[in-house]
Amino acid sequence: MANAELRARRRSIESARALGVATAPEIDDSWSRCRPVIDASSAAAPVDAEPDEVEERWAASPIRRSEVGLEERLTQAADAGDLVAAVTDEEGRILWSAGGRSMRRTAETVGFVPGGRWDESSAGTNALGLALRWGRPASVFSAEHWCDAVRDWVCWSAPVRDRAGRPIGVIDLSGRWDRATPLAEVAVGTLARLVEEHLPDDDTPEPSGLRLRLLGHAEATFDGQPLALGPRQMELLAALALEGPSTLDELRWHVYGDRPISPTTIKAEMSHLRQLLGGGIGSRPYRLTVPVEVDVTTLRSELRSGDLGRVTAGYSGSLLVDSEAPFADDHRHVFDVALRESLLARGRTPELLAFALVHPYDEAVLERAVAVAAAGSADHHEAVARLSLARRG
């Protein structure tokens, strides 16, 4: 396309934008979504991941492990056309990038770097975000970009889909608007298909993820394999699972409270945990980015539904019973009290006795078990015997 045609296209888009509309319906739709959530004058996309996290996630990415020489191919394309190349994860976060000399410097100023978030809600209308949203190739030219910082860019993106057809990332080439070429669009589409054809065999659409057993004897598994964790590491994972995304200061309070602890120590522990989870812990704030199942969370749901039999069957002990972490104290108290009160209100003798196995000196629970048991039944005899022991203790 001649430069005169590119200039005419840009003028047309800018004229329409001045009137508050886009020249393409899909771009207009994107602007409508962006208008209430992101300022068009934003200078850069957010960069919210630490370098070691990005490296670990890129190493674990099935796109990276497709072994088709993707990095070399994209680097060559970027160098040849003074473009910047990028590969994202399924959330639109850049995991890898390379660029020609001038575009690389330009990219750094707008957050188009590893760790940068280029989903539509974070960076406005752009090809990476649209490719993820649509599940098909996208290009965004000049002032079609929502944010002023990249209005001099043209971007071409193609999603990489797993075997179930879901986008797991995006391949992108971007450059200056006056150097737009259809060859870049063809290149990203071809590379995306090549990667899809060579995804590693162990890439499964539904990984088993992280499972935490916090009641009774604490245990953790990831993708079915046990994790060897120390007490503090278990507390850190449990805090993220139960409290949700947390800043470094919030995480320090959840786990250590007023006890003195160096932020460096927590960062080192989080880095180790991130490696164990294949990069599955985000940062700023810290958060779990893998599927997670926690026994206490499951039992809370069952308690709300009134299934005391299932709850007491899964209740093998209090939550992280030896932990002094503030978050553990809170969750332990809330669950134990909620279960106890439910049992005192409507529990049957077997359920009350199951709870008493964990709390053998709770006389109120045992008195209730005696009261609701059928006279002369085995449950009644057991409840009487346990109550006698509790009173002696």
Task: Give domain status of residue 27, yes or no.
Answer: yes
Kindly state whether residues 191 and 313 are assigned to the same domain: no
Kindly state whether residues 362 and 222 are assigned to the same domain: no
For residues 64, 95, 86 and 125, what is the CA-based torsion angle, rounded to 10 degrees? 130
Q: For residue range 325-363, what is the model confidence (pLDDT) as tens digits? A: 999 999 999 999 999 999 999 999 989 998 998 899 999
Task: Give the residue-averaged pLDDT of 28-57.
Answer: 91
pLDDT at 32: 92
Residue 135 has pLDDT above 70, yes or no: yes
22-31, 108-117, 217-226: range with highest mean pLDDT: 108-117
Of 135, 125, 116, nearest to 155 by C-alpha is 125
Kindly state whether residues 377 and 233 are assigned to the same domain: no
Kindly state whether residues 303 and 249 are assigned to the same domain: no
Domain assignment of residue 251, given as a range: 210-293
Q: How many domains does the chain have?
A: 3
Separation of alpha carbons 120 and 343, rounded Å: 49
Kindly state whether residues 44 and 150 are assigned to the same domain: yes
Q: For residue range 156-181, what is the model confidence (pLDDT) as tens digits? A: 999 999 988 889 999 999 999 988 87
Of the residues 141, 168, 197, the one at which a domain ends: 197
Of 50, 24, 46, nearest to 37 by C-alpha is 46
Kindly state whether residues 14 and 147 are assigned to the same domain: yes
Of the residues 293, 322, 348, the one at which a domain ends: 293
Of the residues 274, 293, 312, the one at which a domain ends: 293
Least confident window among 239-243, 303-307, 370-374: 303-307
Asked if residue 211 lies in contact with residue 221, where contact means CB atoms within 8 angstroms, the answer is: yes
In this structure, what CATH number is given to the domain that contains residue 99? 3.30.450.40
pLDDT at 204: 44
Kindly state whether residues 320 and 193 are assigned to the same domain: no
Kindly state whether residues 305 and 366 are assigned to the same domain: yes
Kindly state whether residues 270 and 316 are assigned to the same domain: no
pLDDT at 205: 45
* C-alpha distances out from residue 13 to 19, 70, 149, 154, Å: 10, 33, 16, 13
Residue 182 has pLDDT above 80, yes or no: no
Kindly state whether residues 57 and 157 are assigned to the same domain: yes
